[in-house]
Amino acid sequence: MRKNSRLPNLHNFGIHLRIILIVNLFAVMTAILYSQQFTQFFSQFTELSTAVQPILILSLVCLYGLYPWLNRLDYQLSLLLIVVLEVGITYLAFVALRPYFAPEFLPNVARACLLAGMVTAIVLYYFNLQQRAYSPAIAEARLQALQARIRPHFLFNSINAVLSLIRSQPKRAESALEDMADLFRVLMADNRELVPLAQEIALCRQYLALEKLRLEERLKVNWHIEQMPPDAMIPPLILQPLLENAVYHGIEPLPNGGEITIHIMRKHEDLEITISNPFSPDKERHNGNKMALKNIKERLLLHFDLEASLKSEASNHQYSVRIRIPRQ
């Protein structure tokens, strides 16, 4: 669990990409300001980049390594240390490399350090603004709204299915009620932290068991999870809405039902999840499926920035959703 939640995640590829883009944007602006003519811009920018890029790469490497330690410190202190670190790296780089290719329009080390401190402060302020845009109040409201999106028809149909079993199969009805209680306990919980994949799989099995009560042989489920890392951490209630969509949009409209296939495996250093179900364009229901996918993409963005992805496709009467999550 992150202690200093306001500090940008310096282990995240998306954060590093933004830093590179912002710093190079400042380099472009500086080259434009120092160019007397447009033809001078490229030479000025090239000369400036020879000094900026080594400092930038070294800074990202240092920040990546120091992030766990910085993340345990007070937010203001961590920001101050980052600025000091950047100024120190710039000083050392200019002292060591200035005789070889320092730009002429940065005549002394003091000015270079001042610019490095200013750019670092601006970058940190940008991430602070981004954090405020996704403030805990907004993010929590979004997550809670997404987690409470289970369809009313599922609750109504599940209750009816349990009622039909009470007399003929009381044990099965009792087990179904326990599954419902567990499912809604998770839905009503404060689900802001990542959970183990095995826990999410167990919840999905309970959900599918409830759907099996009413759909019976129309619903078939094929799990391929032999290669999954059970301790991988994922956002809670990521898979259950996708399975709910697969049942509601894929299985229910078909008279003979169909099979939902779930593939979960480790691919390189990422976790890859694929859920497939039958798809009939002429029996397509409302656009709730697209809304659910958009909501899940937003949750992945809140948790993992650009390192996670969600893609969906429909072909050959099959609809598939593929999620890639960095393994944690």
The pLDDT, as a whole number, for residue 1 is 43
pLDDT confidence bin for 151, thresholds 50/70/90: low
Higher local confidence (pLDDT), 65 or 47 = 65
- When pLDDT is cut at 50, 70 and 90, the band that residue 2 belongs to is very low
Structure confidence at residue 106 (pLDDT)? 55
Contact at 8 Å (CB) between 179 and 162?
no
pLDDT tens figures, 59-114 = 999 998 998 888 888 888 888 999 999 999 888 887 776 666 555 555 578 888 88
- The CA-atom distances, in angstroms, between 58 and each of 218, 221, 312 are 58, 50, 38
149 or 217, higher pLDDT: 217
For residue range 136-149, what is the model confidence (pLDDT) as tens digits?
A: 555 555 555 555 45
Whole-model pTM? 0.65
Ramachandran quadrant class, 216 (left: phi over 0; alpha: psi -120 to 50; beta: rest): left
Distance, in Å, from the CA atom of 121 to the CA atom of 115, rounded to the nearest integer, reads: 10
pLDDT at residue 224, as a whole number: 93
**Could you tell me which residues come within 8 angstroms of residue 190 by beta carbon, excluding any fewer than 6 positions away?**
none
pLDDT reported for residue 323: 93
Query: Residues with Cβ < 8 Å from 93, sequence gap 6 or more?
Result: 51, 54, 55, 58
For the ranges 36-45, 85-94, 273-282, which has the lowest average pLDDT? 36-45
Domains, in order of start, for the chain: 13-133 (no CATH), 139-326 (3.30.565.10)
Mean pLDDT of all residues in the chain?
80
The percentage of the chain sitting over the pLDDT mark of 90, rounded to a whole number, equals 12
Is 300 in contact with 325 (CB distance < 8 Å)?
yes
Write out the two tokens for 251.
Answer: 């299985």
